Structure 1
Amino acid sequence: MRRQLSFSCEGAALAASLDEAAGSTGLLIVSGGNEVRSGAHRGMAMLAARIAEAGHPVFRFDRRGIGDSEGTNGGFESSGPDIAAALSAFRAAAPHMTRIVAFGNCDAASALLLHQPLALGGLIVANPWTYDADAEETAEPALPPASAIRARYLSRLKDPKSLLRLIKGEVDFRKLFRGLSALKAPIAPAAPDSLAARIDGAIAALGTPTTIVLATGDRTAQAFVESCPAALDRVPVERLASASHSFAGNDGEWLAARILAILNQPSLRA
């Protein structure tokens, strides 16, 4: 059963949804970007229903200034109080829980990492956002990460149709040379005060069991891999061969299965 409720965060009333279930391990879903708690294409609402049907209560909320919530939208980097207040509200609404695992995609994943420590039994962070504010204003850099370009060209070199187009002169050589030049450029280390560096540092300092989830064809995930390579050796990583940033369609089933596997781990059960 799903019910609507509200809670307070620094004087603002925030809207939330609780998918009730009897399990002792709950899932807190933090929305990314400026999305409301239902998520892109209602993906988070559907995810909540799947997880609750499997026996785990799920709490979603709109942070300040988003959706049905009051207050000013300060972006994901100022959402620490919202997440902490949501955790308290979740515990009050489902007092039978003994553990809470938090899930976030994109900048919600980054928010969960940056605002540690939180009283959580686990973290699941998907496709963490590592672009700084200037890149965020223009969506993404003009070129994808070098790893994405490399994978794309390797795929095309194995495709007879692409080779035939090259022989026939049907390939835009300006784009080709631009992409190849990006492969030659050395990867500059992230500036100490950059978002990527701060996220990498947050992962290094984690005291909470954490799993990183990546849609390997997604540019945000690719940028994270390129910007924070050491992070992939510090915590478990689940990879899905998909370009769907929001785990749309059948990818949602895959994501739900991975989340349930984590929620059902003996160390996270009462």
Structure 2
Amino acid sequence: MREFLSFACEGDTIAATIDRPQGVPRAALLIVSGGNELRSGAHRGMAMLAQRLAAQGMAVLRFDRRGVGDSTGDNRGFDASGPDIAAALVQLRAACPPGTPIAAFGNCDAASALALHGPFAGIDALVLANPWVIDEAAPAKGDGDDTPLPSAAAIRARYRAKLKDPSEWLRLLRGGVDLGKLARGLLRARSGDVPSALASRLGAAMTRSTIPTQILLAERDRTAIEFEAAWTSHAFAAARANAKLSLHRLDSASHSFAREDDTAWLDQRLIEALTRSP
């Protein structure tokens, strides 16, 4: 059963949707949308996820952050979304019997928002997919191109994939490659990455986590590659030692876990988080 609701958040109104199971929910999930995405998700992915989990006995609440979709107010980005998440959680708790286990799920910068602004009272577990660790990049200098370069780790992963693709070699021979950009990329690929300020903040936040937290990575997704590079850096040294954190990798390039096998894997991880919550 799907219901639409709205609630207040610091003088603005947040629009939300809750999917309820038949009977009393055995667990509940709060979905936080990434970027400026609507609560339905890309290609209605989050709406379909909520429907699938409701069919398995879960209550699932999704919402539009202030300034996005049907919600009022200014869109101040993921880094200012702590009050929005807290207000949505209050609504989800009110819709469930006392003691119902509640997990929260976010992809990309929504995952980062959950890690940065938690712990939220009443959340028993977190599922953080492809957390965003990239600061607003300063333009690269030297050849007039003001396009920010990805990290060295992301460039190396991209070039490895290109070297395996015969069409890329043919494109190079035909002059279809920007040699200036290629040279910049090769130089960057040889360098080491310094963790971003956001990565350092996330590392500190994850170090403090006291609830079960799954980190899900679609291994060939650029955002996941950037996180993996940060995860192995000194910024996450203490977080890696936190027994509450677990890292799970999927051989996929789909940022939103859109393929059928990816979707099944994501559902499994979420159900595990919900059923293992106290």
TM-score (ref. length: structure 1): 0.85
1:88-122 CA-to-partner distances (Å, cap 9, x unmatched) read 11111223552110000111111101101212100
| Conserved 8 A contact 1:36-1:62 | yes
Q: Deviation of residue 158 (structure 1)?
A: 5.3
- Following superposition, the deviation at residue 224 of structure 1 comes to 1.5
Pair 1:181-2:187 in alignment: yes
Question: 1: distance between equivalents of 2:30 and 2:17?
Answer: 10
Once superposed, what is the RMSD of the aligned Cα atoms? 2.6
Aligned counterparts of 1:164 and 1:206: Cα–Cα separation in 2: 46
Question: After superposition, what is the alpha-carbon deviation per residue over 1:247-269, rounded to whole angstroms, capped at 9, x for unaligned?
Answer: 2232223211221122222xx15
Taking structure 1 as reference, are residues 167 and 10 closer, same or farther at Cα in structure 2, changes over 3 Å only?
closer
Could you report, residue by residue, the CA deviation over 1:58-117 in whole angstroms, capped at 9, with x for unpaired residues?
011112121111222221111111111111111112235521100001111111011012
Q: 1:35 to 1:255 in 2, by over 3 A?
A: same
Q: Who is 2:143 aligned against?
A: none
In the other structure, the counterpart of 1:6 is 6
Task: Check the 8 A contact 2:79/2:113 in 1, yes or no.
Answer: yes
Q: How far did residue 244 of structure 1 move?
A: 1.5
Gap runs ≥5 in structure 1: none
Work out the percentage of aligned pairs sharing the same amino acid.
Answer: 52
- Asked if 1:46 corresponds to 2:57, the answer is no
Instruction: Give the equivalent residue in structure 2 for 1:246.
Output: 256
Q: Which range is displaced more, 42-51 or 242-251? A: 242-251
- The number of residue pairs the alignment matches comes to 259
C-alpha distance in 1, partners of 2:100/2:250? 30
What amino acid sits opposite 2:7 in the alignment? F
* Rounded Cα–Cα distance in structure 2 between residues aligned with 1:117 and 1:168: 53
Does the 8 A contact of 2:138 with 2:148 survive in 1?
no
SS in 1 for 2:102: strand
Match of 2:247 among 234, 237, 240: 237
The question of whether the paired residues in 1 share the 8 Å contact of 2:127 and 2:213 is answered with: yes
- Tell me if 1:123 matches 2:129: no
Tell me, in whole angstroms, the C-alpha distance in 1 between the residues paired with 2:169 and 2:228.
32
Distance (Å, rounded) in 2 between the aligned partners of 1:29 and 1:72: 20
Code of the aligned partner of 2:217: L
* Partner Cα separation in structure 2 for residue 4 and residue 163 of structure 1: 48
Equivalent position amino acid for 1:4 in 2: F
| Bigger shift: residues 65-74 or 147-156 | 147-156
In structure 1, what is the equivalent of residue 266 of structure 2? 255
Q: Which runs of 5+ in 2 are unaligned?
A: 140-146
Correspondences of 1:11-22 after superposition (within 5 Å): 11-21=11-21, 22=24
1:196 to 181, 196, 199: 199
Alpha-carbon distance change, 77 to 151 in structure 1, aligned in 2, over 3 angstroms: closer
Q: What is the alpha-carbon distance in structure 1 between the residues aligned to residue 9 and residue 171 of structure 2?
A: 58
1:35-76, Cα deviation, whole Å (9 max, x unpaired): 111011111101111111111110111121211112222211
Would the alpha carbon gap of residues 71 and 163 (structure 1) be closer, same or farther in structure 2, given more than 3 Å must change? Answer: closer
8 Å CA contact 1:17, 1:60 repeated in 2: yes
1:213 paired with 2:196, answer no
More moved, 53-62 vs 176-185: 176-185
Segment of structure 1 superposing worse, 224-233 or 45-54: 224-233
SS at match of 1:57: strand
